[in-house]
Amino acid sequence: MAVFRVEKTKDFTVMSNHHLRNVSLSLKAKGLLSLMLSLPDNWDYTTKGLAHICKDGVDSISSAIKELEKEIGIELFKRSSHGTVLTPEGEEFLGYARQVTDQYQLLENRYIYRTKGKKKFSVSMQHYSFAVKAFVELVKQFGMDEYEFAVYETRTYDVLMDVKNFKSELGILYRNDFNAKVLNKLMKDNNLEFHDLFSCGTYVYLWKDHPLADKTEITMEELKEYPCLSFDQGSNNSFFLAEEVLSTYEYKRIIKANDRATMLNLMVGLNGYTLCSGIICEDLNGSDYCAVKLDSDEIMTIGYIARKGVNISALGKKYLEEISRYKDKALK
């Protein structure tokens, strides 16, 4: 089955009539798919949810779903005793439909209607202040009159998926001996490739008034009484997708957080710490924090991911130039 072009406004949905002309689908299946394509991107797809907004019951919707699955060739929904929800393949299918919509609209506006739109650049990243600072410098150089920018500090798996699904042109993350095999497999499966930017040692990032802040090197034994702060990875919480090295270490105390501001507050309030690249960006985080070398041979390689075989835009290349400036600031 082909991909569907969908254009949504507040009161209207314009979509391709491909599925409407597909003689293999019943009227019920065509109507269900049209309904699903008209829903907001963040709608929580369940059979009960679909039944709630239409006349048909759950059984009727389930039969239509099975018909769609047979035609498309994938399982859209997973059925269990707790209900029916979208499978990863189902989410991907609907995601691709929306991606093609966005790409088609760009082509249509540019070449059919000759609309001069803003040039766009977006990047997804693990929680690195230096990567955000590089983004800031990019925006300052080009301004926002003719350009549209987006930056996403997010979880490791989401960085991969954002690039794969065209949400971001580039992704910034780290790779080391521990996670390389898993990340390489994920990238290969999703037609992505990793490019090295620079390598650095592992550092303990903490508040400047932390009891260990004045040391020249810190051991894991010295850290055991203080809470280790780690970025939450959601449902994809594999050790191999952690943003911090030594993710399999048995920490006595650990706190999960989902944003950098909260983590910085926990460093001050609880004398917490996190393990990082050691690249300090005082312009964004302020001068109240410091990085102390960890007594470890762990090496992190910071790099960017991109879609295989896709040329990087001029804005993307300029962003990589900005982030590469931190190579000389990487602590060994």
CATH number of the domain residue 254 falls in:
3.40.190.10
pLDDT score for 11: 59
CB-count burial class (<10 Å; 0-12, 13-18, 19+) for 87: middle
Per the listing, tokens 């260990």 go with 212
Report the alpha-carbon distance of residue 252 to residue 246 in Å, rounded. 14
Query: Positive or negative CA dihedral for 101, 107, 113, 116?
Result: positive
pLDDT score for 308: 92
Residue 252 belongs to some domain of the structure: yes
Let me know whether 81 and 24 are in one domain. yes
Determine contact, residues 96/3, Cβ cutoff 8 Å. yes
Residue 1 belongs to some domain of the structure: no
How does DSSP classify residue 46?
Answer: B
Residue 93 belongs to some domain of the structure: yes
Report the alpha-carbon distance of residue 67 to residue 75 in Å, rounded. 10
Counted domains in the chain: 3
pLDDT score for 4: 44
User: Which pair of tokens denotes residue 57?
Assistant: 């019951």
Using DSSP, state whether 319 is helix, strand or coil.
helix
Domain carrying residue 227: 203-294
pLDDT score for 9: 53
Predicted TM-score of the model (pTM): 0.68
Residue 113 belongs to some domain of the structure: no
Residue 86 belongs to some domain of the structure: yes
Determine contact, residues 124/158, Cβ cutoff 8 Å. yes
Domain boundary among 106, 134, 168: 106
pLDDT score for 121: 93
Neighbouring C-beta atoms of residue 209, cutoff 10 Å:
12
Exposure string over 294-322, b if 16+ CB within 10 A, otherwise e: bebeeebbbbbbbbeeeebeebbebbbeb
Domain boundary among 83, 106, 129: 106
Residue 111 belongs to some domain of the structure: no
Q: Tell me the one-letter amino acid at 271.
A: N
pLDDT score for 108: 62
CB-count burial class (<10 Å; 0-12, 13-18, 19+) for 111: exposed
Q: Which residues contact 121 (CB under 8 A, 6 or more apart)?
A: 138, 147, 148, 149, 150, 169, 313, 315, 316, 319
Q: Residue 22: which CATH number? A: 1.10.10.10
What are the residues facing 173 on neighbouring strands?
303
Using DSSP, state whether 277 is helix, strand or coil.
coil
Q: Which residues of the chain have pLDDT under 50?
A: 1-8
Determine contact, residues 154/184, Cβ cutoff 8 Å. no
Residue 257 belongs to some domain of the structure: yes
Domain boundary among 79, 106, 133: 106
Let me know whether 97 and 177 are in one domain. no
Let me know whether 16 and 144 are in one domain. no
